[in-house]
Amino acid sequence: MPFGVGQVGKSFRNEITKGNFVFRTLEFEQGEIEYFFDPEAENWEKLFAEWKTQMFSFATNVLGVDPEHLRWREHDDNERSFYSKRTEDLEYLFPFGFKELWGIAYRGDYDLSQHMKHSGVDLQYVDSATGRKFIPHVIEPAVG
């Protein structure tokens, strides 16, 4: 702990209506990382900020995106998922305005707690040094 799992694959949106030609499609390829950490050992706000810095650096320094065409936009309480304590989008200035390019969310322990609840399987992490059991928290950067 901490550790991350990355995947790339098909994603489907059921809340998006067709519009803006192919910008917001109902089916698309998505890459995401589930970054698990001990909430007692690490401050989620610090980790969140570090992920944002790395995402911006990757977009500008590796991919060559002009930083003047990027901005961060935080989701408000009405837009953010109920289980997320914080969600932000890295938006790109397209010819038709700023739109989401990449997102990041602090999901707390919601995902693993729900899997435990519905599967009956204990998914707590056991610290081998102390024997302490806890449900890891997750920060999820996702690009699609």
CA–CA gap between residue 130 and residue 142 (Å, rounded): 33
Q: What single-letter amino acid sits at 42?
A: E
Cβ-contact 27, 8 below 8 angstroms = no
Number of C-beta neighbours around residue 107 at 10 A: 20
Give the mean pLDDT of 40-66. Answer: 94
Among 17-21, 57-61, 70-74, 127-131, whose mean pLDDT is lowest? 17-21
140 pairs with which residues across the strands? Answer: 105
The percentage of residues in the chain with a pLDDT greater than 90, rounded to a whole number, is 58
- State the DSSP string of 1-20: --EEEEEEEEEE-SSPPSBT
Q: Looking at the predicted structure, is the pLDDT value of residue 23 above 70?
A: no
Helix, strand or coil, per DSSP, at residue 100:
strand
pLDDT per position as a tens digit, 77-130 = 888 888 888 999 999 998 888 888 888 999 999 989 999 999 999 999 999 989
Provide the residue type at 137 as one letter.
Answer: H
Asked if residue 29 has pLDDT above 60, the reply is yes
**Banded pLDDT at 10 (limits 50, 70, 90):** confident
CB 88 within 8 A of CB 71: no
CA-to-CA distance for 42 and 23, rounded, in angstroms? 37
